[in-house]
Structure 1
């Protein structure tokens, strides 16, 4: 039995545990537990190969199990956070430069000016619109009531083709 092997594994476990406290990513914690287990079997007289196998197996198993556990248990109800352009879909904007059919105009959304085209005919300056689509750097907008009317019309058409009453 090598009297220093278990000391080295114990020091590694303490250092990895301290790193976990500093980094807080639930990664080095599992390696610290693996080093602690390797320290225990080193103290029992198992050779270096067995210590390395124990460290690797324990660390890998705990790491894989924790990622699966966190994903399936703690993140199952997590909502996908929409950011950037994806967050603008369905948001309200204000027409800053009238939207005419051939050229479009400008709308303000989230404090930024965007080029826009109307899906519901010409729109005067100051009107509130809803962002329906994004194509490159251009927003396609429509009056909020127009998008509601279209969805009702689409629902009615779906009922007729399916045969609902």
Structure 2
């Protein structure tokens, strides 16, 4: 069994694993939890025998970081020039219709994921298997048009056809 004076090492390992895993998500949640674990490690180094205090400090630091620091970091990242959310990055991506797409409904596969879709042009039906390109994202529905058909560029903010 671990001696109480070595529990700081467990906190450090937990903090490192959380911080490394954060690189996969980019959401700052795991980073805030890693900060809490780091505070738990510091507390364990100062008061090695008081595990309940270590847990309380780790939880408090993680909770405060999530509540106060994470929203600020997310806002700053999203306000940087050139930032595109994962949904915004779908615009211009190619895909294939997996079900017939009309101006009301349909389904498309883009970047290996299935999405609800609708046609950009009213009255146009895109048959299953046809290649499409994403024109815009409307909620969780992709507005698409067939690659074989060119479209006129529209100015930003202009209504759809």
Higher Rg: 1
State the TM bucket, normalised to the shorter chain: 0.3 to 0.5
TM-score normalized by structure 2? 0.45
TM-score normalized by structure 1? 0.44
